[in-house]
Chains A and B, each alone.
Chain A
């Protein structure tokens, strides 16, 4: 089930996205395979988050097709679309936790909406999810404003995992974390991907994350994917931006 086969989870073809006169993504194509962790890099403002938000349907596109699990999201009914949406979970950059709900209620929220579970089971499952992201049960009764940055990200991940998604989108999951916390978060993503058989689409700037957890890396420059493949392929790439990124001062 989790084998990194060549089955495509997300297929993007000739995607064009722009705002006003500017074109951010220009005929971009990319495949994300089932069960892999894909790291997505690109300069600030290059359109990484735009791509993610377009795939999950928060931004409109001008041209191109997006298929998730072989379903073209433009050609489906609302019900089918919602079915597909339940198969992905999203970790927003700032966590986007609901500030008026406790951590436990935040995690339970999607389950309460979409599943018919007893209160006892809801509580237990919320605690299990918290435990999976490495937080103790005492965190459950806290409010998002009482959490540290790292804890917020973990809770947001737990909420993203609430409905057992097959794909998780992570928008800069380790930004704002110290190297130790970032390393732990990387391990966490790796473990979860192994145990749950997740497909992970990760927008990141963290070279260490790219090195340690990503199966494949895709580099975005000038609105297109200019290189995609494992780390070795990145290091071998001749594209000037990719060279600068992976051979720059901060690369090792």
Chain B
């Protein structure tokens, strides 16, 4: 069953006969037929469209008929649509009324302008991010003060619950990863230092590098990916389902109930994880020195004692709570920014991980400058 539009011209009068199935599967052909028919409209004054021979008609077919009528009418032709049953007439009336005016898409910008707009938006966005960060930090401090004054409001259970999730359950993966990183650093060190006979200096490198930088950095980056993203997704889903609003309407501050326990748990867990991570990395490094580099554990420990001091460890571990704070705040801010759609949840979670890792590395750099200038 095909669809067709037959046209006969006589005396500036165009007679069109629509036949067959005017339904969606033939829409492509029908649209072409209609366009061709309406182009002949220049020389005609009146158009009769006979729709009696249409045996199937759906809304798309009906719209195409309506569009044909519309085009001819706009060209100033006297257009009549004939042979419609009562029900089809009703359908066409319903459809023909449709107002299509603002169907136009918003005008596209010039590409250079559009590129500049993107750059400008992201620069402004950076400023806003900083502002939101400061705002959350402020709210958090205010809430912390309130809780300190009235300790009964402190959600101890919640903190323990989150501590379990972001701390205890993260131990195996953190220890494994840092162990591997420690081993790899030691292996690379031995491989390259051996060429100029400085094997033993590997212990200095491993010790200082791991305690000052790598231990904390690897752990915080893992935490940002593992727990920061979870925070963002949880808070985002709560925001989407209006749970955050529900809390507010009950006179309960979401920062106090949802965010403070989460961030506090991170601030406690990350230094502990960093310590465990550093020990695991040293262990890995020591093991590789022994098995691959032939430095016995005794030698390794004596050399390590000479190479590092408590300062080295302190410089590393002091960074951990600050980094945890940054990860927590970025994750919560991004979570609360989630809008109604599923896509927004995904993009905020991505943003949370990317931003917190970036912030952690920048902060690490700032700490390095600070410690260098005070001579530690």
Contacts and interface: CB of A to CB of B under 8 A. Distances in A.
Of residues B58, B103, B339, which shows the largest number of chain A Cβ atoms within 10 Å of its Cβ? Answer: B103
B343 A195 contact: no
Contacts of B98: 127-128, 131-132
Contacts of B31: 118, 121
Nearest to B346: A100
A143 B70 CA distance: 30
- What is the size category of the interface that chain A forms with chain B? 20 to 34
A177 interface: no
A12 interface: no
Interface stretch (B21-29, B134-142, B272-280): B21-29
A144 B28 contact: no
A100 B341 CA distance: 6
Interface in B312-354: 339-344
A143 B24 contact: no
Interface in A95-140: 99-100, 111, 115-118, 121, 123-125, 127-129, 131-132, 136-138, 140
Interface stretch (B86-94, B179-187, B203-211): B86-94
A185 B295 CA distance: 82
A131 B90 contact: no
Interface of B: 23-25, 27-28, 31, 58-60, 63-64, 67, 87, 90-91, 94-95, 97-103, 339-344
A62 interface: no
Contact of A115 (B25, B97, B341): B25
A127 B60 contact: no
A229 interface: no
Main secondary structure of the interface of B (DSSP, over half): helix
Contact of A124 (B23, B63, B94, B341): B63
Contacts of A116: 25, 27-28
A145 B240 CA distance: 10
A247 interface: no
B79 to A, nearest CB: 18
Contact of A123 (B28, B103, B343): B103
B341 A125 contact: no
Contacts of B91: 195-196
A136 B100 CA distance: 9
A128 B60 CA distance: 9
Contacts of B340: 99, 143-146
24 contacts: A1-B87, A99-B343, A100-B342, A100-B343, A115-B24, A115-B25, A116-B27, A117-B27, A118-B28, A124-B67, A124-B100, A124-B103, A125-B60, A127-B103, A128-B59, A131-B99, A137-B102, A144-B340, A161-B59, A164-B24, A164-B58, A164-B59, A191-B94, A195-B91
Nearest to B27: A117
A150 to B, nearest CB: 17
